[in-house]
Structure 1
Amino acid sequence: MPRRSILLFAGACIAIAVALAIITVVVVSGRTPTSNGAEITSTGQPLVGGDFQLVNQDGQPVDQTMMNGKWSLVFFGFTYCPEFCPTTLAEMAVVQQRLGEKAKDLQIVFVSVDPQRDTPQALKDYLSSDGFPKGTIGLTGTPEQVATAAKAYRAFYEKVGEGEAYTMNHSLTVYLMGPDGKFRTAVAYGMGPDKTTKIIEDAIARG
């Protein structure tokens, strides 16, 4: 992908991350019908997070209950990512160190948007790289399962190119989820370890 396109894409993703941090469901009187006739009650909470069924890097099935009781940083990417994913994971490793004892209550979750190549073993090998956060949980699944998880987290991704040389465009937002499995805030790409650590510490302090 041309460098100009990458920069434009990264800029758009940062804007999305900022919006996610502040956008909530518009509160209206009554209920809003959906296209299939169901009804939605506005909650005033961001529509981020929800049900999913995937497998971890050990091949074990997991679902959204893995978020229960832990603070979670959820990030969508892929192991063939040339820059953004390794950069984000390396930054998360620094954040993990700076959090010290607080890090024991925080899990980092890397969800692959490239299930065609990212098998559980591929994720396990990738996440064991030096400089990445210790204990990062890698998740993958069928294309349909990945699509469901990405939809729940409002994460964008698309395949670009054909053959073995294809790549994946994807959003760069890291989602901070609370121990109740609900969205707390978003961390934009390139924010840096200092700001990211403070955001997480402030969120944990608020509960």
Structure 2
Amino acid sequence: MRIVSLSKGKPRDYQWKEKRETSAIGKTPVKELFLKKEAIAGDGVANTDFHGGKDRALCLYPYEHYEKWQKVFNRTFMLPSFGENISAINMTEKDIYIGDVFAIGETIVEVTQGRVPCSTISKFNGEDQLLKTVFQSNHTGYFFRVLKEGTINLQSEIQLVERKQSELSVWDATDTILHKPKDIAAMEKLLKVPGLSQEWTEILEKRFKKLTEPIDN
């Protein structure tokens, strides 16, 4: 596992087609990041309902996916095209498990959930089909909560400190959230995973209740 790039950025206004929107997807490559439990110093989000918070303080996008998307769309995607804070090698969604704890530089971080992609990635990259393709593949990237604050830089080593479970990878968890809204067994399994974000826990509990509660006649 190795860091390829680090990035951060504040929300800014964009003109996408005929609509003006505010987003923090356009981040700037930097040499180091200071990770706080609430957020990354100097980083920001535009919509706090769907971005940011302690369970989504750090966003990683696997570097391997860049080569895949460049072949699919026959164009170059410059880092960080997906608004990630960190891109790394050998940390794909199938390599990493919900609840995994890593030491990166001075910090300790824990994997909490996959990323739910939105239309911003298509608008920002000028590819109408990008969102659909990322959504279908579950190659969405994922989030960490910060357990120990500190600085990481491009030379920081990534070390797995603890793997709490090895049944549900980030890919598996994302597949359940995005593609299995009525799979009760998959929901129950994911709800038992330690470290799962509060947001995904609430989503699963709501779906589970809707599917299992008696229907009043």
TM-score by length of 2: 0.25
Compare the two structures and name the one with the higher strand fraction: 2
Compare the two structures and name the one with the higher helix fraction: 1
Report which structure shows greater RCO (CA 8 Å, sep ≥6): 1
TM-score by length of 1: 0.25
